[in-house]
């Protein structure tokens, strides 16, 4: 299973209320529940006009299928090639 970062353009994402973010999460979870064990949502980062979502999936097409079924934007699915943090430079 690979790890992917998904870029989603969602104008005004940074102004969504807690309830609106919860509703998006509920919808995502419902769709994922019907897709089997080959795709998992790890977490998402909300910025002003985008969401950056981290997924583990057997195939990136599953992530695009999740977006299609849920009605979510899916601008780009990029495989994670490496992970670095401050400790990488010490």
User: Are residues 49 and 11 in contact, defined by beta-carbon separation less than 8 angstroms?
Assistant: yes
Residue 90 pLDDT: 87
* Measured distance CA(28)–CA(15) in Å, rounded: 19
Domains with residue ranges and CATH for the chain? 2-82 (3.30.70.3090)
pTM of the model: 0.92
Full pLDDT tens readout for the chain, 90 residues: 999 999 999 999 999 999 999 999 999 999 999 999 999 999 999 999 999 999 999 999 999 999 999 999 999 999 999 999 999 988
């Amino acid at each position: 299973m690979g790890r992917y970062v998904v870029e989603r353009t969602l104008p005004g994402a940074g102004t969504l209320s807690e309830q609106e973010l919860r509703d998006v999460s509920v919808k995502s979870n419902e769709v994922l529940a019907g897709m089997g064990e080959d795709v998992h949502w790890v977490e998402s980062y909300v910025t002003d006009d985008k969401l950056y979502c981290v997924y583990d999936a057997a195939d990136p097409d599953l992530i695009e299928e999740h977006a299609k079924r849920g009605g979510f934007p899916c601008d780009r699915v990029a495989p994670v090639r490496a992970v670095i943090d401050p400790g990488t430079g010490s």
